[in-house]
Amino acid sequence: MEALHFKPLNNTSKEESPPFRGRLETHFFGQIAVLNACPNPDILVNNPGCFPSGDFSDWNRKDYINSVIANTITSIEMIEATINGMIERKFGRIVNITSRTTKTIVEGLGLSGAAKIGLIAFVVDISRQSIRNNVTINNLLPGSFNTNTLESFIEKRADKIGQTKEAVKAKMITKNPAGRFCEASELGDLCTFLCSVQMGYITGQNFLIDGGTYPGIF
């Protein structure tokens, strides 16, 4: 089984592609580029990324709206644009890459975490409707990964508490039972597994991939 490879798209640039003739209310052009390239996919992976960390006192109404559009609405629109074709073909796999912040508190990530919870709540109902036609919808909840986003988070955290980046990173790794950060390829492996033909009986589930950091039972 081969892992997925991700190509990031600028979700706000018209330079990505000509207009898509579908119903996309937010007009985010990253969506248009994907649907122009593959209008009838059997597999859809939504990965809106992560909004910058920060303090709630710094956020305003525009920040809240933009976070909901990026982390909730755009993924819902992509599902709406593709799921009917999957149902007609009697096969479809949809995976939403959200965050562990939908299940546990991570200081400074409330803006994106709250919006990602909205996406998870939305797909719970439709995932139970679509599975009758062999179309599943599941969510991945990644923890700390070796990415530029994590490096940026560590840097901001270090500046805020007056420590070095190395000290903050070492403390985070110490708290992780796996003793390391996860690699992006490991997320790709799990995503590929959920998108396989064999996974037709699993839907509406949230899969943590955080090295055992989450302290709860459920």
Q: Is the pLDDT of residue 13 over 50?
A: no
Taking only the tens place, the pLDDT of each residue in 143-161 is 888 888 888 888 988 998 9
Tell me the C-alpha distance between 150 and 158, whole Å. 12
Q: Is 10 left (phi over 0), alpha (psi -120 to 50) or beta?
A: beta
Q: Which residue has the higher pLDDT, 11 or 159?
A: 159
User: Which of these ranges, 24-33, 73-82, 114-123, has the smallest mean pLDDT?
Assistant: 24-33
pLDDT in tens, 176-205: 999 999 999 999 999 999 999 999 999 999
Per the model's pLDDT, the better-predicted residue between 61 and 79 turns out to be 79
Which residue ranges form the domains of the chain, and what is each CATH number?
37-143+182-207 (3.40.50.720)
Question: pTM score, two decimals?
Answer: 0.82
What is the chain's mean pLDDT, rounded? Answer: 84
